Amino acid sequence: ETECEAILEAVDRIAARIESEKKHLTDLDSAIGDADHGANLDRGFKAVVETLDQKEDADAQDLVKTVGTALISEVGGASGPLYGGSCMHASQELEAGITAETTVAFAEAYLEKLQDRGGAEVGDKTMVDALTPAVHTYKKSIEVDDLPPLEALAKAVDGAERGVEYTVPLKAAKGRASYLGWRSVGHQDPGATSTLLILEELLATAE
Ligand code: ADP
Ligand code: MG
Ligand code: MG
């Protein structure tokens, strides 16, 4: 399988997973937001699949950049510019293709852009709470523990899973959920949840 085929497979898997969890994501968003997160992402990833299907002769960097632009134009809300903008920005790190090194750089650039744009820190009850432990665990697994990328990604998914659970008791400090103040406590963040789903599908693709 080439890098491009792997990216297309990942995107197909993510789109299918988001479609099957559309209602779950929307239910989570109806508790602390405006009940559109599932629909936003479903629309976005369907557009991503369509856009990539029409693309020929692209390299990894190109494809991932296109994923980002499609998400920006189709998802909307708070999550569209965050998912799409981070993806677009981080795609630059894939110029040399997909390796352990470039994927660590991609993950770090993605997180950095996300925090830059959204201004959320760990503990604000957002997708940053799932992504941060995932990115840090991935980097450490590769650079310090010298694990192969697949094992590192599996550990990153575990990190994201803990991050999602960690959002439940938090009081939201960013995004729509923050309007609820203390009433946001006790609910799982939708964006952290979709981040975990996406990472799970990346892992499934790599396996
Ligand atoms: P909207 O809130 O505009 O309807 P979505 O429902 O698609 O957008 O996405 C909501 C999710 O976006 C939240 O669950 C949260 O994880 C994420 N989010 C919102 N604001 C921020 C932010 N400033 N930084 C990071 N993530 C954010
Ligand atoms: Mg919403
Ligand atoms: Mg909305």
Specify the pTM.
0.97
Give the DSSP per-residue string, the chain.
Answer: --HHHHHHHHHHHHHHHHHHTHHHHHHHHHHHS-S-HHHHHHHHHHHHHHHHHT--S--HHHHHHHHHHHHHHHH-TTHHHHHHHHHHHHGGGGTT-S-HHHHHHHHHHHHHHHHHHH---TTSSSTHHHHHHHHHHHHHHHHTS---HHHHHHHHHHHHHHHHHHHTTPPP-SSGGGGGGGGGTT---HHHHHHHHHHHHHHHHH-
Count, residues in the chain: 207
Section 27-47 average pLDDT? 98
Residue 2 CA, ligand 1 centroid: distance in Å: 34
pLDDT value, residue 1: 75
Portion of the chain with pLDDT greater than 90, in percent: 97
pLDDT tens string 41-51:
999 999 999 99
149 has pLDDT over 80: yes
pLDDT value, residue 56: 80
pLDDT tens string 183-204:
999 999 999 999 999 999 999 9
Tell me if 190 CB under 6 Å of ligand 1. yes
Rounded distance between C-alpha atoms, residue 111 and residue 86, angstroms: 7
Confidence of residue 55 (pLDDT cuts 50, 70, 90): confident
- Other residues' Cβ atoms within 10 Å of the Cβ of residue 89: 19
Residue 114 CA, ligand 2 centroid: distance in Å: 17
131 has pLDDT over 90: yes
pLDDT tens string 73-103:
999 999 999 999 999 999 999 999 999 999 9
Confidence of residue 177 (pLDDT cuts 50, 70, 90): very high
Provide the terminal-to-terminal Cα distance of the chain, rounded to the nearest Å. 12
Closest residue by CA, ligand 1 atom 9 = 79
172 has pLDDT over 90: yes
Please, what is the average pLDDT of the chain?
97
Tell me if 79 CB under 6 Å of ligand 1. yes
Portion of the chain with pLDDT greater than 70, in percent: 100
Tell me if 40 CB under 6 Å of ligand 1. yes
Closest residue by CA, ligand 1 atom 5 = 37
Rounded distance between C-alpha atoms, residue 4 and residue 23, angstroms: 30
pLDDT value, residue 125: 98
